[in-house]
Amino acid sequence: MASNKHALAICDICGFQYKHRELRKNSYGLLVCPTDYEGRFDLKNHPQNKAPNVLDNPAIKDPRPPNNAERNVVWNFANTNWEDETSNWNNV
């Protein structure tokens, strides 16, 4: 580390000369100027490159679906006579 406040250094990306105290290290370990500094989220540390937290919430209030009356489902046309359905398939 430079101990003189007037020390100069060269940016590892653009190659321009800056005061050493103006340069910062990025996540790749390069000494870069403020223009080339990507901030906390560069290509290595970007949030999209991290695994998301996908844990399920185990404290579910009522894990069952609501009954048919609450969902406005009507079973008026349900057919329980299986013989009629199989005979229709044979005629097709």
Domain ranges of the chain: 1-39
- How confident is the model over 15-40, as pLDDT tens digits? 999 999 999 998 788 999 999 888 76
- Range 8-39 burial, b when 16+ CB lie within 10 A, else e: eeebbbeeeebebeebeebeeeebbbeebbee
pLDDT of residue 11: 95
pTM of this prediction? Answer: 0.43
pLDDT of residue 41: 64
Q: pLDDT at residue 74 above 70?
A: no
Strand (E) or helix (H) holding 87: helix 82-90
Q: 43 Cβ partners below 8 Å, 6+ apart?
A: 49
CATH topology of domain 1-39: Wheat Germ Agglutinin (Isolectin 2); domain 1 (3.30.60)
